[in-house]
Structure 1
Amino acid sequence: MIEMLNSIVAPCSSEVLISAIRACGFDPAEYINSVSDMKNLNPDQATYHFILQGFRENRDFPLGKPMQGISDLLNLPIENKEYQRLLTSGVMVRQFQTAAKSDWDHLIELIKEINSANCIPYIVIGDSHSELYSRFIDDNGRIFVPVNLVCSGATALGLGRKDTRSGFGRRIYEWLENLQRAVNEIPPIFVKFGQVDVEFTSTFRRIRLEKKLFSLPHFADFIGESVASYEKFLTEIRTIGLINICSIFPPTLTDAAWNEGYVNANIAFAETGISPDSISQQVRDLEIPSMRFRTEMHALYNHSLMKMSERLGLNFIDDFSPLVGDHGVVADEFIPGHPGNDHHLGHYYISSVITPLITEHVRQNASIDPVLGAI
């Protein structure tokens, strides 16, 4: 493993790289605890795993503060610049995601720091799927830097309501108002909600209403209710800045995962207040459409999002269609090694789709030369 790492990072030594990674805030103990498949690794093995492979994967663990150690990491004498940029991206994404989940208050100051560093900030607001928009893009020497307000488990349905447990709609509105007062120009904003609605809220509603058989007309009614609440929320914030509405991604949960009673514990409890084990049993009793049909359900929701965006005069970003393959489900190239029981796509594997979309829409606020790539 050491020999492989040395060959990748030459002429820099693996010891120097490991020291730089740890200076960024990487803690092997936190990494080991991120998922069950890491439990048998010791701290050195965990560090090697992250540097060789793990930085490409969608693992949830804290990693330092935004920009901590990044300059030193980028200045290491590594000949393979593509690897160096990808590794740095993996570190920065986790740093910023950690900050976004902990506290939003400091993010306004972070935007000022990004501007002061002659970088271009862009704001991403959404459920956990929005984290896939956290990308550091090198655009001919200008760096686009994401500031992600992560609303884990949030629904479009809840944004326009005052009686939700999370209160994310009001929190987002107040944060944007504070941002308006603090900066001269609002960065481009990407808003991504709705996937939790389609995959989970609609399912939990069927359980509550004891509708074991799937009904497309009932689902269409649910889409209308969800998008109407989303539209109500967006009407309040649409004049704040350049807002881009993102489609929802195609589903990645397999039919087998649903047949086994798949439940995201955090979302299930937030939505129902019922234990995940109880919900899982009730999910197994439901008729769940096939993955291909569920992909079409996501397309129906996206069509409603597109029409809503047109009504509000907002940009609509279709990040769904490029990810769907010839068989009518998410293409294999975007989910290599995906276990089928995770409702998230991998950050690294969809770069070819997401990075150009971000670049195109961030450029609407600035005159920037053609993109070189994401770091």
Structure 2
Amino acid sequence: MTAPVTDTGTGRTAHEQPQDDGRAARPRLAVALVVLAVALVLSITAGLAVGSVRVPPGQVWGIVTHALGAGWAEPDWSPAREAIVLDVRAPRVLLGAVAGAGLAVVGAALQALIRNPLAEPYLLGVSSGASLGAVVVIVFGVTLLGPVSLSAAAFAGALGALLLVYTCARTGGRITSSRLVMSGVAVAAVLSAVLNLLLLTTDRGNEARAVLAWTLGGLGGVGWGTLWLPGLALLLGVTVLLVQARNLNLLLAGEEAAVTMGLDVARFRARMFVLLSLVTGVLVAACGPIGFVGLMLPHIVRLFVGGDHRRVLPTAALGGAVFLVWADIAARTVAAPMEIPVGVLTALCGGPFFLWLMRRDAAGRATRQGAAA
């Protein structure tokens, strides 16, 4: 049997999580959702206002409401400022919110599916597979599916990487946390090597430079015409995962307990892997591989709302959106006029968090072993 996994947010083993007192957690959930919703509105306002040309927050919302046909006052801003807010910053900020929410939700679901607190798309090679698929399209100019070719290739790469990791980690019909992490790291390293080889051997320098910048993760260059696809992927992912939240809770109790409760674990995992690969592939195609968002946010929100996925998923989505919007603001302003890839900043935050998470998990295992002895 797979060893119990300690949840970093609550300090309890995973099989204890579904037994959280829902009534006690309900007020905390309401408070968390309200606070995060307000924080998201303020974050979006800051994202639209901050930049090389600063726009007052009141004017930002005047421009937005006027564009929506609900303006309450005559325009007192220049056409240039309106173009900056609506055409340059708004798609970028909204993509940051969508990508942050999607990565956080995918991370929370993966941690439940494989009962590993270290699981996230970046660590398990999903992002590397999606990146390789997208880079193949960019470098070789593959357009078989028209405008969705990039997203389709990223989805195929993400799904292939996840299935490969899952197959490598499965021994004797079981999956251990350590083998899963090692398999994910190994597959990610191989896929990254293939990606770099493609960059080195391509004879088109412009594509190589574009891909190199894209692989660091960033939200620039997005427009209204391409924003609908990641938004649709997020809506699909969150909706399906919320419907399946009870089954995700059952998996935290272990495969045997989930089967006893009537869950077909193999089929459920296969369906969820396809869904999570689809969401990850679309997000990676839109903004490149942005790591550690799916690792950090689920654990952080569990500190406040517990381990029930009916509470974790919506809270993680809002938290991930707020986090990535602010990470992009920092990327645009910290080294202005130069822009830092947002994936670099999330890695600087996520790397220390990952090390802390490993130490905490190791300490929890040692404590349980001592108590058992």
Same fold (TM over 0.5): no
For normalisation by structure 1, the TM-score amounts to: 0.31
If asked which structure has higher relative contact order (CA below 8 Å, sep 6+), I would say 2
For normalisation by structure 2, the TM-score amounts to: 0.31
Bigger share in strand? 1
